[in-house]
A and B are shown apart, each in its own frame.
Chain A
Amino acid sequence: MKLDAKIPEGAIADKWTKYKATIPLVNPANKRHIEVIVVGTGLAGAAAAATLGEMGYKVKAFCFQDSPRRAHSIAAQGGINAAKNYSNDGDSVHRLFYDTIKGGDYRSREANVHRLAEVSTAIIDQCVAQGVPFAREYGGLLDNRSFGGVQVSRTFYARGQTGQQLLLGAYSALSRQIGRKQVDMFSRHEMLDVVIIDGKARGIIARNLVTGEIERHFGHAVVLATGGYGNVFFLSTNAMGSNVTSIWKAHKKGALFGNPCFTQIHPTCIPVSGDHQSKLTLMSESLRNDGRIWVPKKQNDTRKAVDIPEEERDYYLERRYPAFGNLVPRDIASRAAKERCDAGYGVGTSKMAVYLDFSDSINRLGKKVIEARYGNLFEIYEKITGEDPYTMPMRIYPAVHYTMGGLWVDYNLMTTIPGLYATGECNFSDHGANRLGASALMQGLADGYFVLPITIGEFLSKDIQTKAIPTDHPEFEKAEREVKEKISRMMSINGTQPVDHFHKQLGKVIWEYCGMSRSAEGLQKAKKMVQEIRADFWKNVRVPGKADGMNPELEKALRVADFIELGELMIDDAYSRNESCGGHFREEYQTEDGEALRDDNNYAYVSAWEYKGENEQSVLHKEELIFENVKLVQRSYK
């Protein structure tokens, strides 16, 4: 299969402008007859559904939560990047582009990333116009702060709840279109398959989570905006319901999956407290602006943090990376924490934690300033741990936070299935092997507001003659039958173990062997283990209750079945990439001082996996990455 990324011709800075001017348009009279399905209502989905509705398309939007406002974008804390240069520190579109490519360890596509940097400024304008209450200076203008991996202040924020405010902005735009009947909203619905007719995505099968009814929905095109798959690890900072099902079903129907093993482990999360733990909570990267990370210089030091004198503390990030200090990119900060803990310098009862200390900043700036900047984060920390971070340092440890991998898409954000699009975190496109902080919100809204609504015209303009396909079409019937068969097969196992039992097992294997560091040997072992979990699941899972009604255990079971299959693909991908880059750290490939060692001659490509059927080995395709504007160098934050 030849992968065509459809990157427009021309100089990098002109590609998007020129391309936009040449994309075929759909006239307003025709838009009224064209239906678009949008699955997921986070930043990418809500923004896309609202914008497509404004443009005049008939939109059907779906989310599994009880309201579109609850999508997990809401939990993003720190901020959103934009190349506004309001801070007058030399920022520009090119710099944001460059930082993102470098931060991603040179494994993303130049043209997409440049477009992202270009539209970033319009996002801030749009959000302010919607009434998003960003942080401001006393003069009434917008305030900025700095994030990891960059040396400018380009991050806009709304206290520690930026994701919430941006999502509520997109939700309000979506609500307006629902009120105008441009968007038909289906809450508490979960997509369980995509329907393909004559080679094009023409609809979905969804389960009404309240009634259990399996429904068929037609669309001229289908847009997936269903977020990341970090919950494959069981413990992650994702919401409990975040899942891979929609993109996994699309993958099984022919959409290639890009870089599945590229996952982001966030360095600053609240450590695990016990076996009962159901999820992990992030402490925003913004904290690293004012917090200093350290461990005791002595191994197994059991003294309280405040009793350890300054000279007996190892501020290991400042020591190893003097140029960026505590603000090195996430992958580097995470590995450095793991390295210290593995070497026996960890703190807390589990010894799997490091300190994030604000005492210097509190002394310098006063408690009030720190409270204004991070008050809500300190509160969250105190609620979860019962400790006061104003008086004792936070204990933090890395946790799974984001997945750079996702469905492979071309420049139009279209997958390898015509008419099927993937936006936001669920595509692979912009972050390479490591995402920089405050760039997820940027990408979600860029895709949703400014990219997809335009690029989808390329496909839909050829479809103005296509009448809505009735949902009694044989392909709809077939897809529905398959979904129903799978559900009844699952319900009839009636084994001995609840769904979580398998999910936890899977999570442990993926975390251990395909998490912060990976090795060929470990990955081979893990592959076998995941296959065993899969066999066990289909023999011994117990799903109580009935399928024709509200049944949260069934929802979980359907998601976990897909996570198990995905886990195997992640392992294959990590095994096939014989280099270290960004979040993908292969123990065999590191520099003398333990940094990731890339192999640009052999691995400067996107791996795009093709599904070949149950129990068949997936096939690897490669999209070679061509760097014309950025020179590939060893990433250095020293």
Chain B
Amino acid sequence: MKITLKVWRQQNGKTPGEFKTYQLNDVSEDMSFLEMFDILNDDLVRKQDEPVAFDHDCREGICGMCSMYINGRAHGPMTGTTTCQLHMRHFKDGDTIVVEPWRATAFPIIKDLMVDRSAFDRVIQAGGFVSVNTGNAVDANSVPIPKQDADKAFDAAACIGCGACVATCKNASAMLFVSAKVSQLALLPQGQPERHIRVKKMVEIMDAEGFGNCTNTGACEVECPKEISLENIARMNRDYLVANIAD
């Protein structure tokens, strides 16, 4: 296949960026989207040019590191798919593909398609855990958990922290990400003692990091590669309200 790539190039967060156009003539449909970038970069290095910087690691859709905005959609055209799991068989010969970084105030650009998502880490550090030191646990089967609850908690816990929800939201809201962690722990007995303080602290830091407000458009759920449900946001809103009333 012949593919034309328009890729966002930006040296660092301080200098302005621009689109550059690259022509690839020998793209196989079995290639993953990132393998196409490997070929582009190989080419650029051989031409004494600087390769495109992009984040990626596991390349099996689970680490959450890859993060390209492809043709106006986070992680590209396929639903429930990360960029690294997107394969070229979903594009056509002669296609032009526009690739941009995540764009959000809370995710400053580092270089080209690479952004700084450490704000997510700081939200988790504020309360996305159960306070249990190593060695303090009781026997794992001493607290039975209904299968439905465990399954729902798992669905929320499947979030890979890639930031597609933020990138796709017109307000760059992080509600889906934050609510997934809040929900996971709110659904389990282990999460109950800190349920109120957790949601308050996480929301506080989420706001302080510069993420926008949620206006319930649901775009995040549509673009989430792990199909995290909007229900989690509703659950978090309820918990947040209850926690504030309880004070």
> Judging by beta carbons under 8 Å apart, are A131 and B124 in contact?
no
Within residues 58 to 98 of chain B, which ones have a CB less than 8 A from any CB in chain A? 58-65, 78, 80-81, 85, 87, 89
Which of A175, A185, A384, A500 has the largest number of chain B CB atoms within 10 A? A175
Within residues 55 to 87 of chain A, which ones have a CB less than 8 A from any CB in chain B? 65-72, 74-75, 84, 86
> Judging by beta carbons under 8 Å apart, are A553 and B60 in contact?
no
Q: Which residues of A contact B39 (CB under 8 A)?
A: 276
State in angstroms the CA–CA spacing of A269 and B158 once bound together: 23
> Judging by beta carbons under 8 Å apart, are A380 and B60 in contact?
yes
Within residues 124 to 139 of chain A, which ones have a CB less than 8 A from any CB in chain B? 124-139
> Judging by beta carbons under 8 Å apart, are B64 and A140 in contact?
no
Q: Which residues of B contact A366 (CB under 8 A)?
A: none
Asked whether B111 is an interface residue with its Cβ less than 8 Å from the other chain, the reply is: yes
Interface residues of chain B, those whose CB is within 8 Å of chain A, are 12, 28, 30-32, 34-35, 38-39, 41-42, 44-46, 48-51, 53, 55-65, 78, 80-81, 85, 87, 89, 110-111, 114, 116-118, 120-121, 124-141, 143-147, 150-151, 153-154, 157-158, 160-161, 184-185, 188, 190-191
Q: Which residues of B contact A449 (CB under 8 A)?
A: 134-135
Q: Which residues of B contact A47 (CB under 8 A)?
A: 134
12 extra interchain contacts, Cβ-Cβ under 8 A, other than A171-B124, A175-B129, A278-B34? A67-B117, A71-B63, A125-B139, A126-B134, A130-B132, A175-B125, A237-B60, A239-B57, A276-B35, A276-B38, A450-B135, A544-B50
Chain A residue nearest to B34 in the complex (CB): A278
> Judging by beta carbons under 8 Å apart, are A133 and B184 in contact?
yes
Complex interface bits, A271-305 against B, C-beta within 8 A gives 1, otherwise 0: 00110111101100000000000000000000000
Chain B residue nearest to A496 in the complex (CB): B46
Q: Which residues of A contact B32 (CB under 8 A)?
A: 278, 384
Q: Which residues of A contact B157 (CB under 8 A)?
A: 131-133, 158, 165, 168
- Minimum CB–CB distance for A292 against chain B, Å: 24
List 4 tightest A-B contacts by C-beta distance, closest first: A140-B144, A172-B129, A129-B137, A179-B125
Chain A residue nearest to B161 in the complex (CB): A69
- Minimum CB–CB distance for B29 against chain A, Å: 8
> Judging by beta carbons under 8 Å apart, are B184 and A131 in contact?
yes
Q: Which residues of B contact A72 (CB under 8 A)?
A: 57-58, 63
State in angstroms the CA–CA spacing of A277 and B135 once bound together: 43
> Judging by beta carbons under 8 Å apart, are B147 and A137 in contact?
yes
Q: Which residues of B contact A137 (CB under 8 A)?
A: 147
- Minimum CB–CB distance for A226 against chain B, Å: 14
Q: Which residues of B contact A549 (CB under 8 A)?
A: 12, 111
> Judging by beta carbons under 8 Å apart, are B59 and A544 in contact?
no
Give the interface size bracket for A toward B. Answer: 35 or more
Number of A-B contacts (CB under 8 A): 225
Asked whether A142 is an interface residue with its Cβ less than 8 Å from the other chain, the reply is: yes
Q: Which of B31, B64, B126, B138 contacts A69 (CB 8 A)?
A: B64
Asked whether A309 is an interface residue with its Cβ less than 8 Å from the other chain, the reply is: no
- Minimum CB–CB distance for A129 against chain B, Å: 4
Chain B residue nearest to A272 in the complex (CB): B30
Complex interface bits, A15-57 against B, C-beta within 8 A gives 1, otherwise 0: 0000000000000000000000000000000010011001000
Chain B residue nearest to A165 in the complex (CB): B157
Chain B residue nearest to A242 in the complex (CB): B57
Chain B residue nearest to A124 in the complex (CB): B140
Q: Which residues of B contact A176 (CB under 8 A)?
A: 125, 129, 131
> Judging by beta carbons under 8 Å apart, are B154 and A158 in contact?
yes
Q: Which residues of B contact A135 (CB under 8 A)?
A: 150
> Judging by beta carbons under 8 Å apart, are A542 and B45 in contact?
yes
> Judging by beta carbons under 8 Å apart, are B190 and A75 in contact?
no
Q: Which of B61, B65, B80, B136 contacts A129 (CB 8 A)?
A: B136
> Judging by beta carbons under 8 Å apart, are A84 and B140 in contact?
yes
Between A and B, 17 residue pairs with Cβ closer than 8 Å are: A65-B65, A66-B118, A67-B118, A126-B135, A131-B157, A133-B150, A133-B153, A136-B147, A210-B110, A276-B35, A276-B39, A281-B59, A380-B85, A383-B78, A449-B135, A545-B51, A552-B51
- Minimum CB–CB distance for A28 against chain B, Å: 13
Q: Which residues of A contact B49 (CB under 8 A)?
A: 544
> Judging by beta carbons under 8 Å apart, are A68 and B121 in contact?
yes
Q: Which of A75, A86, A129, A175 contacts B124 (CB 8 A)?
A: A175
Chain B residue nearest to A379 in the complex (CB): B80
Known A66-B55, A67-B161; judge A278-B35 contact (CB<8 A).
yes
